[in-house]
Amino acid sequence: MRYLARISYDGSEFQGFQRLNNGKGVQNVLESVLSNINRKSVLVKGAGRTDAGVHALDQCIHFDLNIDIALDKLQYSMNRMLPNSISVESISIVDNFFHARHAVKTKTYVYKVFCGKKNPFLYSYVYFFPFSLDLALMKKACGLFLGMHNFQSFVSGERENYTSIIDSFDIYKEEDFIIFEVKGKSFYRYMVRNLVGAILDVGRGKASLDDISEALQNPLLEKRFSVAPSTGLYLMKVEY
C-alpha cells in the first residue's frame, strides 16, 4: 500500500533532504524508521530536494509498506522513532501510481531576512542582514520574475532546461523581519536563494532593475548577483 505523508523538519540538523552515504540526509532517517516499522526495506520519495540548512514545514513524501497498519498508529510510531528535528504532520493512503514529486502542482517557499539586533537563537533560521533596504524597489524586482522565464542566471549548476513559471512573488515586512514568499511549480538548485540574493542586491543599491531584466532576457550574459544563505529558506507548502 502506498502512503503520502506531510512532514516538517529543522534543516539545520541535516545536510539536506537527499539520501547521503554518510546518513545525514532527512531521507536516510525516514527510510531507516520506516524500514524498522515495515520490517523490510522501504524507499522514500520526496516532493523535492532541500539543501543543507533549508527547513521544511510541508515537505511531502510517499512510500510503500507491506504491513497492515492504521494511519494513526503509523503516524504515532514514526513520530516516536524519529528525532525531534523531524515531525510527521499527517499521513494518508494514495493510489499506487501516485508520486510525491511528479504529481506536484505548485510549491511555496518562504525566505526570512532579519534586520534587527543579532540574536544567537535565530542564527540557524534567518539571514541576518543589517543593511538599509529599499522595500518598494525590492517589490518591483519581485514582479520582474513573475511568469515564464529562462532562469539560467539564477540557478546554480548545469541542467538541460532552465525554464520555469513563477505564479506569485510577494515581499512584506513584519517588525524586524522581511519575508519573501514565492510560489511556482519547478524550482531548481539554489534558485530561490539566487532570486532573494538578487533582490537584496537591488534593495541595497548593488544592482538595478535593469540588471535583473537583462539577466532574464539574455541568460548567456554573465551577471553576478548575491546568493542568500540556506538558513532563511523554508519549504512552506506543497500542493497536488
Q: Which three cell numbers stand for residue 174?
A: 513584519
Q: Which pairs with CB-CB distance under 8 Å and at least 24 residues apart come from 37-40? A: 37/65, 37/67, 37/69, 37/74, 37/77, 37/78, 37/81, 38/65, 38/66, 38/67, 39/67, 40/66
Indicate if 51 belongs to the active site.
yes
Q: Which three cell numbers stand for residue 76?
A: 504515532
Q: Which three cell numbers stand for residue 181?
A: 514568499
| Identified catalytic residue from 10, 51, 134, 167 | 51
Cα–Cα dist 194/219, whole Å = 14
Cα–Cα dist 137/63, whole Å = 44
Residue 77 DSSP class: H
Query: What is the set of active-site residues?
Result: 51
